[in-house]
């Protein structure tokens, strides 16, 4: 695996995800009654056997929760490895 990259840039994250077939998603059943979207993920439907676990959301919804939770995306620029992590 190439060296991972950490990013908070919305355009960079969206381009990377879309270039690799990823879509903004939440894990079903993790929605918060207090208004939170749920656990965010970049999901790769074409590469997953577990598509029923994920619910696609808009990029606007994704980045709203991404910002309010102060997250960053750790990812492999040349592959699909990714993990949402704290910005700290």
Q: Are 31 and 38 in contact (CB under 8 A)?
A: yes
- Domain range for 23: 5-86
Question: Containing H/E element for 65?
Answer: helix 59-68
11 vs 54, which has greater pLDDT? 11
Place of tokens 């994704």: 62
Confidence at residue 28, expressed as pLDDT on a 0 to 100 scale: 85
How many structural domains does the chain have?
A: 1
What's the pTM? 0.85
* pLDDT over 70 (residue 33): no
């Amino acid at each position: 695996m190439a060296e991972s990259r950490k990013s908070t840039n919305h355009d960079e994250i969206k381009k990377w995800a879309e270039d690799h077939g990823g879509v903004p998603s939440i894990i079903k059943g993790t929605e918060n009654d207090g208004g939170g979207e749920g656990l965010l993920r970049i999901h790769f439907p074409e590469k997953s056997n577990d598509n029923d676990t994920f619910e696609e959301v808009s990029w606007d919804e994704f980045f709203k929760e991404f910002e309010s939770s102060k997250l960053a995306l750790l990812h492999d620029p040349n592959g699909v490895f990714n993990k949402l992590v704290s910005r700290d």
